[in-house]
Chain A
């Protein structure tokens, strides 16, 4: 079955440290891939998306993600964490065929940034 998995429900890093949030998908055909961020009491905001063009995707706020077909992964990284990055991050996929346009979200990873 097609699915998306985020490893680690909670990640804690120090300010200035590397941020790495993991996302793996299960599909025989590479889907469209997205990362969203959700700040407390707010809706989701798109950080970046993979749409079969460049495998390294740059997004807002200094985040980037690399699509690796061989590993069925789309991990999110940021070289240096800032306090304002503390939020919950969701990986989402949209598979070809089936329900067009429907996103399937992972369970989310809550990022904490320590001063």
Chain B
């Protein structure tokens, strides 16, 4: 079974430029998560999708960040314009949501490391 796929793995851009990250979850996983991981910190949730619906985007900075999950499979996270402080690793994870049970194991992709110059 293929894992969570993310691309690109690395991205270097100048500030004020736009950038987009792509995530393909594990087949059959209806829940998709985007996390931000700053250097030396644990991941922090940005947005959670259940199928096509963003059920929790309370931590997504909506002035510059946007996300979509068309057709409930792949997802794209966009930043426009990027700022120096956006340099971090962006992780995507997916799970098969079965209600409030222990089966909600999240599987993580390798992440995209963004450097904003």
Contact = CB atoms under 8 A, between A and B. Distances in A.
Among A44, A101, A103: residue with most chain B CB under 10 A: A101
Contacts, number: 58
A105 B42 contact: yes
Q: Chain A: interface residue count, which band?
A: 20 to 34
Nearest to B101: A51
B63 interface: no
Interface residues of B, number: 28
The B contact surface, by secondary structure, is loop
B1 interface: no
Given A46-B105, A100-B100, A105 B110 contact: no
B114 to A, nearest CB: 14
B98 to A, nearest CB: 10
Contact of B42 (A32, A46, A92): A92
Contact of B4 (A41, A43, A94): A43
Among B9, B106, B113: residue with most chain A CB under 10 A: B106
A9 interface: yes
A51 B109 CA distance: 24
Given A41-B110, A44-B91, A101-B48, 5 more contacts: A36-B108, A42-B110, A43-B93, A90-B42, A103-B43
Interface of A: 9, 32, 36, 41-46, 49, 51, 90, 92, 94, 96, 99-103, 105-108
